[in-house]
Amino acid sequence: MYDLESFIKELEAKNPSQPEFIESVREVLSSVIDVVNENPVYLKNKILERITEPDRVFSFKVEWENDDKEICVNKGYRVQFNNALGPYKGGLRFHSSVTLGTLKFLGFEQIFKNSLTGLPMGGGKGGSDFSARGKSDSEILRFCRSFMTELQKYIGPETDVPAGDIGVGAREIGYLYGQYKRLRSENTGVLTGKPLEFGGSLIRPEATGYGSMYFAYNMLKERGDSMEGKRIALSGFGNVAWGAAVKASEMGAKVVTLSGPDGYIIDEEGVNTQEKWAYMLYLRNTNNDVIEPYAKRFNCTFVKNRKPWEVPVDMAFPCAIQNELDLKDAKELIANGVKYVVETSNMGLTREAFNAFIEERIPTAPGKAANAGGVAVSGLEMSQNAMHLKWSKEEVDSKLKAIMEGIHHSCLEEGREDDGYVNYQKGANIAGFKKVADAMCLLGY
Ligand code: GLU
């Protein structure tokens, strides 16, 4: 029998200085510990010890030359966490905050997220502490080449299939794939999120944001509510926030905030035109990581060095980075009458913030359920690559919708509490965990 606190204490001793990883394990285990304690097969198979240790971790040096002809050195990693359900699958994050602990947390989350999609994908994650901020396009190209020169030793279309994440979009995936092909002479689905010209899937760039809105649609439908006229706060302005803004507008909701590390903008008219969406993409490609120019361009308010959670809204969608919404922010949102929270970044809410929403019985979706659309369409890209064909936009979008509806259904099945409240965190954790745990038992140790 397991006791949560003693298990976490031992895990901390084995994995010192990895607070995000410990936090992500605590979140999953707090939902599943009773399920494990009540299941003699899980106990006998030592599932908790085995599922919290990555299968393997690669750490490598990335050397590249900047435009001043200086040699630069970054750290590169790939964490292959668990392949019980299929090839390791998960993105690459290029951001100055990346450490091994960050990637272990993301890899751990990815196991259950991928399981929830119902597609045959295991969990992994990789990346580097390299940041595109202030870099030229040719510096990014040289960095990507050097990164892939090492990474290609560990990946393959049936082994481990990386994709994008923060700081890695179609441009970086293109450069990485170019180097993979140069070194291996292979045209395979070894990366997803590829540009359309060479094996990319339609709807993949939009998938995380669209998927999150489809998940939200199901949450509201469950309560006889609709997206029409809802006021939404989004954080971030990258690929995920972009897809979310587009789909929210199509659904009749109004996105009033976007944010960057420099602060946030309030656009009372809504981030709801082609021009505004295109500008978000343009901002991302300038490599400056600031949102302030949006306010100047569209004549709206910029609030420096603050987070968008102080703006009164019906729905909040953190779309930027882990721990971006804390207890203070949660209290402010609650005081302002927020009705739904949809964590679209990975672990965007701190534990205290998540608990505050649950205590108030505000429907709150965890990232591993709400943002699974990205990796789901990556899974569909793998299928298309394996079959050497291409599905239409409509085909991919309808599959994405069905997958998000399926994930919502799994959350309802495992997460409904006695008072009728759906605890989406508990539901997603239990549903995602059970499938992986069962597979691990069937595979033997
Ligand atoms: N980085 C995304 C995630 O956090 C997508 C991963 C993928 O497509 O493999 O799920």
For the stretch 69-85, pLDDT in tens is 999 999 999 999 999 99
**Dist. CA 45 → ligand 1 center (Å):** 29
* pTM score, whole prediction: 0.98
Per-residue pLDDT of 206-231, as tens digits, reads 999 999 999 999 999 999 999 999 99
Among 212, 375, 400, 404, say which to mutate for ligand 1: greatest number of ligand atoms within 8 Å of CB.
375
Nearest to 407 by CA among 214, 122, 223, 204: 214
Q: Is 163 in the pocket of ligand 1 (CB under 6 A)?
A: yes
Give the ranges where 299-444 is alpha helix by DSSP (H): 327-335, 351-359, 367-370, 372-387, 393-415, 424-443
Q: Which helix (H) or strand (E) holds 183?
A: helix 170-184
Q: What is the pLDDT of residue 289?
A: 93
**pLDDT attached to residue 377:** 98
Give the pLDDT of residue 399.
98
415 lines ligand 1 (CB under 6 A): no
Report the catalytic residues: 125
Q: What is the pLDDT of residue 91?
A: 98
Pocket test for ligand 1, best of 208, 383, 403 (most atoms within 8 A of CB): 208
Task: Give me the residues of the chain with pLDDT under 70, please.
Answer: none
Which residues have CB under 8 Å from 243's CB, separation 6+? 205, 206, 207, 208, 209, 210, 212
Tell me how far the alpha carbon of residue 375 lies from the centroid of ligand 1, in angstroms.
Answer: 5
Categorise residue 252: left if φ over 0, alpha if ψ from -120 to 50, beta otherwise: left
The minimum-distance atom of ligand 1 relative to the CA of 193 is: 8
189 C-alpha to center of ligand 1: Å? 15
Tell me the C-alpha distance between 427 and 99, whole Å.
Answer: 29
* Spatial contact of 441 and 47, defined as CB atoms under 8 Å apart: yes
Q: Which residues pair with 71 in a beta bridge?
A: 65
In sign, the C-alpha dihedral spanning 17, 19, 25, 26 is: positive
Closest atom of ligand 1 to 165 CA is 1
